[in-house]
Structure 1
Amino acid sequence: MNVFRNLLATLCVLAALTAVAREAPPPVLLPGVLGVSEAQLAADFWIARQDQADKVILGRSEIEAQNAKLMREDESMHDLRKLPSRLNRQQVKDWIEGLGDAPSSPLHDVDGKPVSADAMQAILANRQLDAIPAVQATRYGLVVQRADLRSLPTRLRVFRSDDDTDIDRFQESGVFPGTPVVIAHASADGRWWFVVSPSYAAWIEARSVAIGTAEQVFGYVDKSPYRIVTGASVRTVFTREAPALSELQLDMGVRVPLWTGWPADTPVNGQHAYTAHVIELPTRAADGSLGFAPALLQKNADTAADYLPLTRSNILRQAFKFLGERYGWGHAYNGRDCSGFVGEVYRSMGVMMPRNTSDQGVSPAFAKRVFTEADTPARLSEAAHAAEPGDLVYIPGHVMLVIGRINGEPWVIHDTTGATVRTVDDRRVRVKLNAVSVTPLVPLQFNDRESYIDRMRSIVRIRPLPATEAPNHP
């Protein structure tokens, strides 16, 4: 407790204790959490501090133009519609090997036991790279349930130390029902497919994907009208008649088409539909083929008839819907990590983003300011303090979403394992958060010598990007 008291004493100055016209009275601080008050855990606290919080930043056509630019110019993205009708061996092999080969450092399983060299070789052999055909027809599919994307075809969770069970080094990302994919290869045991999604290429369990024609897949993706999931996640209504569609999880930003023309008095899976939306979901037959079936999504679930307007108030409201969710590296633990978090917030407003921080922070599709070693600490600090709500601050391996300022000091919400700060007696103290958390930006320490601000690599601002504008100017 002494450590936390010391920590709070260091950070209280950041908690709006000075009485000014627009500030609330001195807040009651929560213990041990970086000087955060209860009021600061609500989106409305930060929205109230914004000018023109409901002003539209980008309209629908502008967002679609930005998404098109992202797919056209960002090498981390994959425009599945423009892939050739036949894939050659080298292309598929490059995708698979792009995730890396045998790890160079020792790994441990979830029980802390070393992963043997033989076990590692068996996993690598399961990729059966030698079986990739010289040429193959491009196959398409739809994801039928939330699923993991893995760097290797195995469920084995591996870690770099025997006391870590959070950062699974084989976990890459997650995909959601209705995501289109190209199926490029199969594992030797037949349980895994290597797939290319719009934002990532990796291994997925075959049972999570149904194979269809390009017309079926893209016809489903384009289908209208639809519902957009605007909650952190929602679930379809329970049904014992269709277990695969029962309580199916749909995460923020997922788009599901409505089943138009469903007869008003015809039950869906044994239930009258007047209190729910009848939606159309992809299904997987026993032979792996694609089909479609109706399911119910309650009308009081957090969904919308279209993407939310891109405004500061919506960015903040959407971000705070994840507050307190457990950190999940690569979408593990049925959650998400820092880049997945910001990506899904913006996806609920129709904005597409690359999957990883390393790609998000430099994407040619976004307005941004990029920092180099030539930027002085004073210049970095000035940029951090000028960041606006909705801006994305990138440091190596991490991204934070700016939510506003208190007494001129920037605050962020981010999905993080923890925060390290300096105490008044110049000690570094680590607070384990492991969740979507609200913190001040300035006190966060990257290492013994540098703060997060010292290590900033870019600040991305989602806003119009004129064709004549240099991409290094926010």
Structure 2
Amino acid sequence: MRIFRYVLVLSCLLSVTACGQKKIPVDSVVFVADEKKISQSPMVFADTLPFAERVLLDAQEQQKNYAKFKKHFTAAWKQNKPYAGNLAFFRSYVQVAGEKRGYAENLHRWSDKEYQNLAHNAQYERFPSVAKNALVIKDTSLRLAPTDKPYFINPKKPGQAYPFDMFQNSILKTGTAVKVFHLSYDHAWYYVEAANASGWAHSEHIAFTSSETEDLWKNAADYVAVTKDNALVKSSVLQESVSLGSVFPLVAENPYGYTVAVPLRSEYGEARIEHCHISKDAAVKMPLVLTAGEVARLSEQLMGNVYGWGGMYNNRDCSSTLQDLFTPFGIWLPRNSAQQAKAGQRIMLTDLSDKEKEERIRAQAVPFQTVLYLPGHIGLYVGQFENKAVMLHNMWGIRIDEFGRFIVGKTVITTLYAGEELEGFDSSLMSRVQSLTILGKDDEF
């Protein structure tokens, strides 16, 4: 099942059906009720904890997690061949029969001509054509085919239309180590595999590495993690915006900031390293000590962030929100929700009633260290509101009947009964929750 570890088709939809009791019509509200009555500030929840600044992982546990993070950080460079199953999966997207194809940006099925051109450009008959180490030099999307054009399953059905472009697989941040295994016919795309995702990336966003560059990335004494979105790394020749969760080798430190190694791309496609400054209010030397207060402070800036299917438009979905949030703490999380649910001490909840799940979560989940998983979705447990478990999560929407969605489309803090006041609501997040996982503890991944 390796393919599911590297090929990600992620869904953060919340499925509910019709209900007989009187409900608030969907078109009469702008927010779900939880958004109105529950504070949308993570710090409010952290401030209620008697142990908000208590260290949640001891030194040995944190170093164990950080060692695992560093191992994953450049793991792609150790690959000699693409992971089993990925070729068949990617190839299937450009060889599907016409009547089974998805829909293009004009809301008509992809035509034979378009698909023939796509298949020709992918030239899978030559796959893999190269095997070269590289770095991402600019945040870039990973696509399931070498094209920026969308692939919607069915534009008339909720959950199968915008924004769910099935060609959008994930996003890779500046500084990510990748292995390039294939080139498109026009050389505009590289097929790459990273430690947690794979896909087609724009070749102009990828630079091939030398042994010296690889040694710097693998063996740096320390690493710096970005703790703010749209942070600037800059030198006399470069000023680049980077996002929370980006990681760079540390070159030097002064009272005001860090000098980090940032990759650029030469005109010949090779990586060139630029020493850039980033301020200490936008970055931290890893690993940041894990406390509820620190997680809350970082997550504060994520509230209200627009939902991004598979990283679309450089926005986050449910799993990438958690991945970026825990990177500064040296905790490596996989890219999809099902694998993230295994990345710590996992407690299964599947045989419990909703009431029993609520009680188990409130009793055993550690605020700001525990994630709650349900099929296709994941969120961070941050505490309680009116004796109900509350989580921070980036969600697209709530199904209100067979044909509609109430669109949330951002990062919110809610109970696990979000949307219960909406007309058509019938089931809850709680009814689908399968497990809770305490991150950094007895990691199974």
Give me the TM-score of the superposition, normalised by structure 1.
0.76
Residues of 2 paired with 1:303 and 1:161: CA distance? 42
Within the candidate set 143, 158, 162, 1:150 is matched to: 143
Q: Is 1:436 matched up with 2:431?
A: no
Task: Give the aligned partner of residue 15 of structure 2.
Answer: none
Task: Give the secondary-structure state (helix, strand or coil) at the position aligned to 2:410.
Answer: strand
1:116 matched residue in structure 2 = 111
- Could you tell me how far apart the structure 1 residues matched to 2:273 and 2:210 are? 13
Q: What is the rounded CA distance, in whole Å, between the counterparts of 2:255 and 2:65 in structure 1?
A: 38
Which of 69, 79, 86 aligns to 2:75? It is 79
Asked whether the 8 Å contact 2:189–2:200 carries over to 1, the reply is yes
**Match 2:297 to one of 317, 320, 330:** 317
Change (3 A) 1:7 1:280: same
Aligned-partner Cα distance in 2 for 1:203–1:340: 19
Q: Distance in 2 between matches of 1:121 and 1:330?
A: 25
Secondary structure, counterpart of 1:236 in structure 2:
strand
1:305-338 per-residue CA deviation (whole Å, 9 max, x = no partner) reads: 3332111122222222111111111111221110
5 Å matches for 1:15-30? Answer: none
1:208 to 198, 205, 209: 205
How far apart are residue 113 of structure 1 and its match?
Answer: 3.6
Find 1:417's aligned residue among 389, 396, 419: 396
Report if the CA contact (8 A) 2:130-2:182 is conserved.
Answer: no
**Matches of 1:125 and 1:380, distance apart in 2:** 51
Which string of whole-angstrom CA distances, capped at 9 and with x for unpartnered residues, describes residues 281-305 of structure 1?
Answer: 11111111111123333x3642223
- Residue number in structure 2 paired with 1:101: 92
**Aligned residue among 304, 315, 327 for 1:335:** 315
Q: CA deviation at 1:342?
A: 0.8
C-alpha distance in 1, partners of 2:429/2:37? 24
Aligned to 2:8: none
In structure 2, the CA distance between the partners of 1:129 and 1:352, relative to structure 1 (3 Å rule), is same
The gaps in structure 1 that reach 5 residues or longer are 9-29, 262-272
- Aligned equivalent of 1:130, options 125, 129, 154: 125
Q: How far does residue 451 in structure 1 lie from its aligned partner after superposition?
A: 1.9
Where do 1:269-288 residues align within 5 Å?
277-288=258-269
Change in Cα spacing, 1:130 to 1:225, as seen in structure 2 (3 Å) is same
> What fraction of aligned residue pairs are identical, expressed as a percent?
21
Letter in 2 for 1:405: Q
> Does the C-alpha gap of structure 1 residues 54 and 274 become closer, same or farther in structure 2, counting only changes over 3 Å?
closer
Give the distance between the partners of 1:274 and 1:71, measured in 2 at CA.
Answer: 25
Q: Please tell me the residue identity of whatever aligns with 2:308.
A: G
Question: Take 1:458 and 1:167, find their aligned partners in 2: how far apart are those partners?
Answer: 26
> In the alignment, what sits opposite 2:357?
380
CA gap 1:287/1:338 in 2 versus in 1, 3 angstroms: same
Q: Which runs of 5+ in 2 are unaligned?
A: 1-21
Distance 1:70 1:302 in 2: 20
**Greater shift in the superposed pair: 381-390 or 288-297:** 381-390
1:6-45 matches, within 5 Å, as 7=24, 32-37=31-36, 40-45=39-44
Shift in CA distance, 120/67, structure 1 to aligned 2, threshold 3 Å: farther
Give 1:388's aligned amino acid.
V
Distance of aligned partners of 1:106 and 1:383 in 2 relative to their CA distance in 1, 3 Å threshold: farther
Cα separation, 2, equivalents of 1:96 and 1:71? 27
Matched residue, 1:21: none
Report the 3-state secondary structure (helix = DSSP H, G, I; strand = E; otherwise coil) of the residue aligned with 2:427: coil
- Structure 1 match to 2:132: 139
Instruction: Compare 225-234 and 427-436 and name the one that shifted more.
Output: 427-436
Q: Closer, same or farther in 2 for the Cα pair 1:213/1:97, shift >3 Å?
A: farther
Across the aligned residues of Structure 1 and Structure 2, the Cα RMSD in angstroms comes to: 3.5
SS of the equivalent of 1:126 reads helix
1:51-102 deviations in whole A, cap 9, x for unaligned? 2111111245423424666899x9xx98335434xx4xxx467333344613
The number of residues matched between the two structures is 408
Q: Which amino acid aligns with 1:282?
A: P
Q: 1:63 to 1:199 in 2, by over 3 A?
A: farther
Q: Distance in 2 between matches of 1:281 and 1:344?
A: 18
Q: Who is 1:296 aligned against?
A: 277
| In structure 1, C-alpha distance between the alignment counterparts of 2:57 and 2:77, rounded to whole Å | 25
Give 1:228 shift. 2.0
* Mapped partners of 2:58, 2:127: distance in 1: 44
Deviations along 1:140-175, one digit per CA (max 9) or x if unpaired, are 111111101111111112223336331211111111
Instruction: Establish whether residue 55 from structure 1 lines up as the match of residue 54 from structure 2.
Output: yes
The answer to whether the aligner puts 1:356 opposite 2:352 as a matched pair is no
Partner Cα separation in structure 2 for residue 428 and residue 378 of structure 1: 29
Task: Tell me which residue corresponds to 1:178.
Answer: 175
Q: List per-residue Cα deviations over 1:219-238 (Å, max 9, x = no partner).
A: 2343245432111341234x
Larger Rg: 1
- Please give the secondary structure, in 2, of the residue aligned with 1:41: coil
Q: 1:60 to 1:352 in 2, by over 3 A?
A: farther
Deviations 1:421-471 (CA, angstroms, capped at 9, x unpaired)? 79xxxx9995421111122213456996532111112211114329xxxx7
